[in-house]
Amino acid sequence: MTLEYILNQAGIPLLLFVVCMFYGIRLLVVQDASGIKGKNKGPLKNEKEFAKTGGKLILFFGVGTLLMAVLIFVNIYAAVAEIIICTMIMGVLWKRMNDKYGG
């Protein structure tokens, strides 16, 4: 298995993993929620907790995409099912976070 083969098969999930890690860690360190709250939204109830929880959720999704990249080599259907489940879980948890800390 060469690097070229791995990048051809799992390049996009690996790129998404890197992007999620960058933004998740950035949210946890800087705690600036202006990038994820939306442009036409009002002020947040608790911006630091919103950023902290949002960063954790983005890191969760990043780990999900890394798992998908591994599962691509095992079973493509398992990889697709896993990322769909991760997306649904993240959507529900994001809605709860937005209801709790959002504006």
DSSP calls for 12-66:
HHHHHHHHHHHHHHHHHHH--GGGTS-SS----S-HHHHHHHHHHHHHHHHHHHH
Higher pLDDT, 52 or 6: 52
Residue 39 has pLDDT above 90, yes or no: no
Confidence of residue 92 (pLDDT cuts 50, 70, 90): very high
Which percentage of the chain shows pLDDT scores above 70?
99
Q: Which pLDDT score is estimated for 33?
A: 82
Q: Which pLDDT score is estimated for 63?
A: 97
